[in-house]
Structure 1
Amino acid sequence: MNKTCLKCGYQRRQADKSPDYACPACDVVYTKYEAKLVRDIGLAKEIRDQQVIDNNAQPLETRNKVDIAKKYGYVFLIFFGIILGLQVYNGEMEYKNGEIRFKEIVTNTIEIRNEVAYLPKSDKPFTGRLEEFHPNGQIKQLKIFKEGKGIGLTTAWWENGQKLYEMTFKNGESGEWTVWDDEGHVIWGKNQVSPLENLGAWRNASYPNQAQICEHLVDRLSQPNLTASDLCICISGVAGDDSSLDFMTITETAAVCALRLK
């Protein structure tokens, strides 16, 4: 059974790369957090027991006030239960494995606004799972979002089913990449810029990394007389010194350059 984090609610998947003892989404160590919950519950029980002793020692008038407060507390609990029930009824929450929790939202379409993910026609940053598919039905991408930012492991596949890339998000920022070609060969390892990244990453990449990217893209573009050197010069020219064109990926820019150099 996949482990569910009691702190953030993330359910561990077989594809997750983080250690088995820690949550891929929030990095909490399962056993430490569960031990903390046990301690908190024990402390709450001690406080409750002490309150019972104190209440029995209180004057009648004080105990009456406490009873009134309890009644209002029960009313609040009933009201909260009704609201919770409505959320379950409306599909916002679900009852599973003896727990009531927010239902995971799965979508195949999101919108990125100011680097934050939203569902179409929604003003609330998206929390849930993005699942995209190729026209042939093969899975294209799996990505987890929390409050509009990527978390944990993102995986994409080529149309033939070969893995395309894996990327780990932490605190909304992309971390280590591994990229494969459509035959399953690793073409970019950890901490290297990928052709799937934007022109901002290109400007920060080392020259050997840029040259490696261009050699790979020249092979994939299969355009006669197109050299890796010319392609690198063109991509650098398009990237420039500012971020005005950073919405373009390196792959998209290479395609434009190939047309210019044709």
Structure 2
Amino acid sequence: MFHMVMAESSKLVRWKIPDWLITFFWLLMVAAVWSAAVRLLEIPDYILPSPENVVGWISSRPGYFLDATVSTLQVIAVGFSAGVAAAVPMGLALAKMPWLERSLYPFVVFLQTMPLIAITPALVIWFGYGLVPSSILVGFSVFFPVLVNAFAGIRSIPAPLYFVARTMGANFLQTFRYIDWPMTLPHLMSAFRICLALATTTAVVSEFIAANEGLGFAALRGVRNRDPVQVIAVVLIAAVVGVLLNGLSLLLEQRIMRKYRG
């Protein structure tokens, strides 16, 4: 009897612990292991600084990192929005018009296979350093995954649904509103969540070459100064930005899907 009560109580405790608290606990464990390894192995700061030094370095320059983070977020916002705005209608059009798919899809694949870093110097020559070239690179990184998911969402719709819609006299806009968009939306929301991580990575990497501000440029300054504390600080901040954007996209996805399913 006692064992049954303890088992039920342990299940209740596990159920009440929020997921974010468990994640925070594991982050603390990683930081503790990192700090202990640096101290026990006597690793110098110029090879691997301790987490205390990294956090202290960030807290001593809050304005600098805030400005860099805001600059990177601007690149992510502009590039992600532009990539999605171009990819969604094109993906829907390719799925709806087979002749357009046959003619344009190979060209889209060709653009996607181009290494983004290779075209960065050309973008810098055309647009200079700053927001525009970095945003274009982010838009390219987002474009293809969103297009493929929009295309797959339309192609996954059963043909009988269209037959029923035509039988009931639905026009093109009504079919799109009540069939195409709701059925494609889950594919798009998954693509958006994945592409936010891609956009964050691409934005930081693009700022190594095509920008004179942002987290990537801050990391580049750390490399030039041979300062691993600054480099690791930028990596941690970029990771936090990615996690927060992923959490925000997940909340939006849950609210939007609840609206359509409710």
Give the structure with the higher percent helix: 2
Give the structure with the higher percent strand: 1
Higher relative contact order, structure no. (Cα contacts within 8 Å, ≥ 6 residues apart):
2
TM over 0.5: no
Larger radius of gyration: 1
TM-score by length of 2: 0.24
TM-score by length of 1: 0.24
